[in-house]
Each structure stands twice: as structure tokens, then as C-alpha cells.
Amino acid sequence: MNYIKRFIKTSGVFFIGNTLTKLISFFLLPLYTFKIAPESYGYYDLTISLINLLIPIIFFQAWDGVFRFTFEYEKKSEKYMVISNGITIQFFGLLLYIISFFVLTNSLKYDIDYKYLIFIYGILYAFQYFYNCVARSFSKNALLVVTGLLNSIISIVLNVTLISIYDMGIEALYISYIIGTLIQLLILEKRLMIINNFKISIISFRLMKELVVFALPLCVVTLSYWLLSGLTRLAISNELGIYENGLY
């Protein structure tokens, strides 16, 4: 009976948080369509789509492995052992991301608009996934939803301010996400204390291997899911143009 009550409570919290966030975003669509040109929004949409594809692969979706293996332990110290190994993989993924990003962007014959904003966006996107999974590992669902909602509200306020008042374009979308997510991560770190509980002495290559082996098939799932939606955006942008992708 307790499991049923907890399931209903958890589902209700997530439902309220997700519904409010989506409703607020929906009512902002007129602002985006009126103030931002389709070509610019098409570029933004394409970059986010590529981030959705590449970040889970580059970071090995370590967060899913952490979420899975923390449930094998009851003591907090044991859970933090898994988390410490997961964050080690996360930082290895960060190094791989930094190298890959700048090698790729510098090898292109044309400049990437908002390159550094996209770069920071990708990093925060990866760590947002990680911290969210850790929060779920400790059953901090209310904390996860509240911080996620706060992130959305901050992003929305910044979007309205930067686009309507300061007449910014899609850079406002990157900036608002970066600031909102950074605040969310700082709150989650303060409550979850992932960095504070990190210990080099409990790093285990065997455990890290298990985390990666578990998560790798999920990377394939992510790729498959992206092919259903993200590939369409890429094809439209490549064949028809960024403007048409913005309309799409």
C-alpha cells in the first residue's frame, strides 16, 4: 500500500511540474514566432537537436548507470560510492566533449554562430541530466520538480526580458537556459552534496566499467529515438534550408 501511495504522490508531483512548465512554454510561442525570424529559430532548433544526440553519447549516459546501480545499496555512503564513480565518468566525458567540440568547430571552413554559448549549453545539459538522476536516486522527486520548475520560470523571465526589452535574438534562448540550469544545478549540489562526498579513494575501474556497460545500450536507444525526430530536422536543414526548419 505504501508503494502505491508513493507512486501516486511521485506521479502527481511530476505531472504538476511538467504540465506547468509546458503550459508556460506554450503561451510564450507567440513571442518567439513574432520576435525571432524562422531562419534564426531553425538554427537554434538544429543545434539543440544535435546536442540532444551527441551529449548522451559523448558522456556515455553515465547518469543512467548511476540511477540503476544506486538502487542496489541502502546506505548513503554506498550510494555516494556509485555517484563518485559516475561523476568520474562524467568528467572524462567532459574532457572528451571539450576536445571534440573545438577540434570539430575549428576544422570547419565557416564560423559557428554563438559557438561558445552552444558549448556551455552542452556542458550544462549533460550535468543537468546527471544531477537529475542523482536526485531521483535519493527519491528527492519534489526537489527535482521544484528546481526544474524554477529553472523554467527563470528561463522564461529572461527570455521575455532579453527578447522583448533588449531585442535579442536566439542568443537569448541560449543565455536563459544557461542561467536557469546553472541556478538549478547549484541548488541541487547544495542539497545533494555530490562534490562534497566525492572521494578518489572509492573510485573503482570495475564499477565504472559496469556503469558504462549498462549505459551503452541506452546510447543506442537515444540514437534510435533521435532518428525519429532529430534526423528530420537535419534533413530539412540540409535539403531545404535553415529557414524551412524554423517553420517546421
Cα angle, residue 216 at apex, residues 238 and 66 outer, rounded to 5°: 120
pLDDT at 109 over 60: yes
**Segment 183-223, tens digit of pLDDT:** 999 999 999 999 999 999 999 999 999 999 999 999 999 98
Higher pLDDT, 11 or 189: 189
Tallying the residues shown for the chain, one arrives at 248
Cα–Cα distance for residue pair 30/32, rounded to 1 Å: 5
Share of the chain above pLDDT 70, in %: 88
CB of 148 closer than 8 Å to CB of 116: no
pLDDT at position 7, please? 55
**Segment 39-72, tens digit of pLDDT:** 998 899 899 999 999 999 999 999 999 999 999 9
Cα–Cα distance for residue pair 160/28, rounded to 1 Å: 8
- Among all chains, which residue has been given the C-alpha cell 556497460? 213
| Burial class, 39, CB count within 10 angstroms (exposed 0-12 / middle 13-18 / buried 19+) | middle
**Segment 133-161, tens digit of pLDDT:** 999 999 898 899 899 889 988 998 999 99
CB of 54 closer than 8 Å to CB of 98: no
pTM listed for this prediction: 0.90
Q: Which residue type occupies 227?
A: L
Phi-psi region of 131 (alpha: psi -120 to 50; beta: other; left: phi over 0): alpha
For the chain, where are the alpha helices, taking DSSP H only? 2-27, 29-35, 38-58, 62-70, 76-107, 115-137, 141-160, 171-192, 205-239, 242-247
**Segment 170-191, tens digit of pLDDT:** 999 999 999 999 999 999 999 9
Residue 75 phi, psi dihedral angles, 5° rounding: -75, 140
What is the rounded average pLDDT for all residues in the chain? 88
Cα angle, residue 30 at apex, residues 28 and 31 outer, rounded to 5°: 65
DSSP assignment, residue 197? Answer: T
Cα–Cα distance for residue pair 203/197, rounded to 1 Å: 12
Instruction: Tell me the mean pLDDT in the region 94-117.
Output: 91
Cα–Cα distance for residue pair 102/247, rounded to 1 Å: 30
